[in-house]
Amino acid sequence: MDALTPLLPVLTALAAYLLGSLSFAVIVSSLMGLSDPRTYGSKNPGATNVLRSGSKPAAVVTLLLDAAKGWLPVALVAWYGRAWGLAEGTMAMAGLAAFVGHLFPVFFRFQGGKGVATALGVLFGIHWGLGLATAASWLIIAWFFRYSSLASLVAALFAPLYYVFGDGVAWSMDRGILVAIVVMALLLVWRHAQNINRLVKGTESRLGAKKAG
């Protein structure tokens, strides 16, 4: 086992990536007899697009599972990592790997979702207060403006700020974790490029809108 110890951070990140590669929007929709979310609406395999199928239970299950796959690897490292020499750097790697797995899932031809729920799960894994603050930002914007994409963009941009401002109050800031949060935020903005364009044009779909037909 000692020979594998230097490889543990890499193996942890690989396991997190494989977990992140489970596209629960597709899996849940298939198990519940719904259309493949990659064939309607935004064609994004995520909870918001599953909601457009008209099945709220499927959307909720997808949301929870997508968040769980981001939370679990980070939480496991936080709970048990130090006994194996794994610290905050490995937490950052695991969280980012799970998030990238959702975006580029090896099990689904590297065609994944936008990663909002998974990123939120990662933030909850880092600290519940960070996750709660970011989730609250999403909910406030979504409630008032009814755009999931706008809420996701605002939450993504505020998440690094929450982490920095929480230093010394709720947690001790780690540079590796901060970098991971910033990278996730930038990737989220990039994945929402088309949504940004539709928001500017006023053609973006609102929350709760069902697929045509």
Q: What is the DSSP letter of 49?
A: H
**Is residue 210 situated within a structural domain?**
no
**Is residue 16 situated within a structural domain?**
yes
The H or E element containing residue 131 is helix 128-145
Which residue, 19, 190, 42, 14, is CA-closest to 118? 19
**Is residue 47 situated within a structural domain?**
yes
Q: Is 212 left (phi over 0), alpha (psi -120 to 50) or beta?
A: beta
- The predicted model scores a pTM of 0.92
3-state SS, residue 167: strand
The rounded distance, in Å, linking the Cα atoms of 69 and 65 is 6
Count helices and strands in the chain by DSSP H and E runs? 10, 0
Q: What is the pLDDT of residues 59-115, one digit of tens each?
A: 999 999 999 999 999 999 999 998 888 989 999 999 999 999 999 999 999 999 999
**Is residue 211 situated within a structural domain?**
no
The rounded distance, in Å, linking the Cα atoms of 167 and 115 is 25
**Parent domain of 43:** 2-201
**Is residue 42 situated within a structural domain?**
yes
Query: Count of domains in the chain?
Result: 1
**Is residue 209 situated within a structural domain?**
no
The rounded distance, in Å, linking the Cα atoms of 213 and 196 is 25
Q: What is the pLDDT of residues 25-61, one digit of tens each?
A: 999 999 999 999 998 887 889 998 898 888 899 999 9
